[in-house]
Amino acid sequence: MAAEKARAIVIRTFPFGDTSSVVTLFTRESGKLRALAKGAWRPKSGFDAALDLLSICQVLVLRKSSDALDLVTEACLEHRFRVGRSQAAFLGGMHVAELLDTLTADGDPQPELFDVASSTLRILSAPRVAHDPALATHDLSDGLVRALITHTELAMLRVVGQAQALVRCAECRGAIATGGRVAFGMLDGGVLCEECRRGKLSVVSVSTDCLATLRLLAGSPDAWRSLVLPPAIDSEVRAVMNTMLSHIFGRRPRVAPLLQPRSRSASPRPA
């Protein structure tokens, strides 16, 4: 068995026996791993809080050559995910974990995906990070959390080759007419011109304001920080992302629908 050092995000954890845990780690160096951490929950465990859900940590893993679980022998906490009373931030972190677990295969290293996810987790818990003034700027409103999560979703989809066409037609790469509502093909991966929309299935109609918001969040890493959306647009953006992820996952996301604004429920209109 070869021992490997890696930076990891804990995306799932299950109890195993009285004191051990089976963890799913998304590592920067080796991709997604499933491993056994013996004695992780003992009172004087050397793992401390490093293997808590959504923690970012440094791990030493003994890789198994068979289908057996790998073995975590050491874990050192790098960043603890703590969001206080912010339900939106907690749900955002859980959604990032679901994205990592669903969009990736075991043992497929994707460093950029790790960097996107770890950055988002740090920002979500930034108000509680007193030792890092650059991060601990202010509590995030629920609206900013949703904007950050939408940016993260679009960035992660781009990394895994599922980038959505938001500027030009996903089919013919032609220009999209301005004004009115725009056809968005969930099976086609983005907006559709009037010609290409004909005969397509799973096409919804999105407002130009919603599309402009998606373009902004996809194109700029910091646009979410100052984004204040009217309730109707905020709700429409989340509804479009939830529908999009349902088609990509092949099932309804577990966490994303819980991020839908409570003030107003919206669904993409059939085109």
| Alpha carbon of residue 142 to chain centroid | 16
CA distances from 43 to 47, 52, 59, 256 (A): 10, 14, 20, 34
| Alpha carbon of residue 205 to chain centroid | 24
Question: Quick one: DSSP state of residue 125?
Answer: T
The structure tokens listed for 181 are 């509502």
Is pLDDT above 80 for 262?
no
Phi and psi angles of residue 142, each rounded to the nearest 5 degrees, phi first: -60, -35
Between helices 208-219 and 142-159, what is the axis angle to 10°? 70
19-23, 33-37, 138-142, range with the lowest pLDDT: 138-142
3 versus 266: the higher-pLDDT residue is: 3
Q: For residue 190, give the nearest of 202, 180, 178 by alpha carbon.
A: 202
Contact 190, 165 (CB under 8 A): yes
- Would you state the pLDDT for residue 271? 62
The DSSP secondary structure of 10-57, one letter per residue, reads: EEEEEEETTTEEEEEEEETTTEEEEEEETTTTSTT-TTTTTTSTT-EE
- Report domain 2-79's class: mainly beta
Is pLDDT above 90 for 208?
yes
20, HSE (Cβ side, Cα atoms, 13 Å):
11
Compute the distance between CA of residue 165 and CA of residue 158 in angstroms, rounded to an integer: 10
Tokens 């979703």 map to which residue? Answer: 153
Contact 23, 70 (CB under 8 A): no
- What pLDDT band is residue 67 in, cutting at 50, 70 and 90? confident
Residues of the chain with CATH 2.40.50.140: 2-79
Contact 88, 27 (CB under 8 A): no
- Would you state the pLDDT for residue 129? 44
Compute the distance between CA of residue 33 and CA of residue 1 in angstroms, rounded to an integer: 15
* Mean of the per-residue pLDDT values of the chain: 90
83-87, 100-104, 130-134, range with the lowest pLDDT: 130-134
pLDDT tens, position by position, 24-35: 999 999 999 999
Burial 15-28 (b: 16+ CB within 10 A, else e): ebeeebbbbbbbbb
Range from 49-58, 67-76, 148-157 that averages highest in pLDDT: 148-157
43-47, 71-75, 200-204, range with the lowest pLDDT: 43-47
| Alpha carbon of residue 161 to chain centroid | 15
